[in-house]
Structure 1
């Protein structure tokens, strides 16, 4: 959690837990004390073992709870800073600033190449079944992945919808053959942001393609949702072959086609 996010948390604590110090983004003892007061009042919403978390992790959990109380989906209350918590914190900051939820936004740009017959967004349920009720298979990854929100944890494969298994395996093999393990790590392509996630679109109202396990996020910290080509790492020229590997199988990059959410690639047409 950076200083900007801590300021958001401190504003919440000022409203909910008697925090009366500066809104300065510094995690001092008074911020910690206010976090503890807020969590104590919401102990029933915390998972088992949360009392043993570090002060930093408990502060993140506190912010996650605040997001949920403002009807912003921050994912599980786990005290871990992932892409969903990062988005939720931004949305909470806007709500605190304006008094209103962020306005949903999505652009429309068609894609062409589709050798696997991936469905358009309106046909996802017909093609892949009900959201959050899909049959998943783990595809081994040829290079070592680490969870973007907890780099201490390694992942050996990607759990995805059974229909996209063979295509995803081909993409991963091609990518590994082109770049190799060392270069993939240099490019941050070992920072895995997840595949399956039963949630709706961020700043949208329909189900995310993650709810069908047919979308994958990569290096979310350097390719944030609203960032365009001027900021997103995956928009740089050194990632051109990366995207060609995906596009050869008909997967769609929201960054390349809509210039936002550069972390995201999906087996769904737009």
Structure 2
């Protein structure tokens, strides 16, 4: 559990008239008392031995009860924080904040829009020149604080990208920031910036990388390694669906969502 999920728990307890303190994300004595009172009212849903669970496990169980009450598929009420519970609590959080559940992301196809007319990879050298020459770059400020993925103590001033994609990138970053907010972005690891412009060839290949024109960005590379598929990559999880949608609506392409590798990578280049 993190602060966001504790706030979701506190909001549920407040809606049940069991909690009357601040929605502050701190699992303190008043939250614990409200959890215990609420679980007592739902004792028939708990398995044997639930009275001996730790405070944290009982808090998770209370969130699972909340999800069941809101017809959100959460699995058994066991007080264990696994992927299904994590996803269900995120759905509950969205329901609390917006009044409706998020649209099921896996029912939607990957967007194939190209509103900015991005080139295909095969066209790049003819259209933009040889990548052996440094492209015209523009630094786009990021609305949240970035940290270099390989040196988290260093914060870049912005993202240096090809000037042709700068306006699109700025729009995406603003929309991402508005949706998630700085705290949630940090929780999701989306402050871990893996670079944009880099004059190099594709790792494991011979052709020039789209990074060599400043048309691609890597995010959180240590948790989204080149060869990892959706079974391991963090950016393949459901909580990142809106992140990818905001890129795709501007025509950017996720190699993870289209090819199921290199989930760190998103590019303003069509395949």
Partner of 1:152: 153
Structure 2 gap segments, 5+ residues each: 1-109
d(CA) in 1 for partners of 2:187, 2:127: 36
1:4-83 correspondence runs (5 A): none
Distance apart, 1:124 and its partner CA: 1.0
1:39-188 correspondence runs (5 A): 112-132=112-132, 133-188=134-189
Distance apart, 1:245 and its partner CA: 0.5
Partner of 1:198: 199
Moved over 4 A (4+): none
d(CA) in 2 for partners of 1:177, 1:126: 37
d(CA) in 1 for partners of 2:266, 2:124: 15
Decide which structure has greater strand share: 1
d(CA) in 2 for partners of 1:144, 1:119: 30
Structure 1 gap segments, 5+ residues each: 1-109
- Number of aligned residues: 161
Contact 1:139 1:169 in 2 (8 A): yes
Q: Name which of structure 1's ranges 259-268 and 111-120 shifts more when overlaid on structure 2.
A: 111-120
Contact 2:197 2:215 in 1 (8 A): yes
Contact 2:145 2:191 in 1 (8 A): yes
Partner of 1:237: 238
SS at match of 2:157: strand
d(CA) in 2 for partners of 1:243, 1:151: 23
d(CA) in 2 for partners of 1:187, 1:218: 11
d(CA) in 1 for partners of 2:204, 2:151: 24
SS at match of 1:159: strand
Distance apart, 1:112 and its partner CA: 2.3
Tell whether 2:262 aligns with 1:261.
yes
Contact 2:210 2:216 in 1 (8 A): yes
**CA distances 1:170-224 after superposition (whole Å, capped 9, x unpaired):** 0000000000000000000000000011100011110000000000000000000
TM-score (norm. length: structure 2)? 0.58
Distance apart, 1:113 and its partner CA: 1.2
Partner of 2:66: none
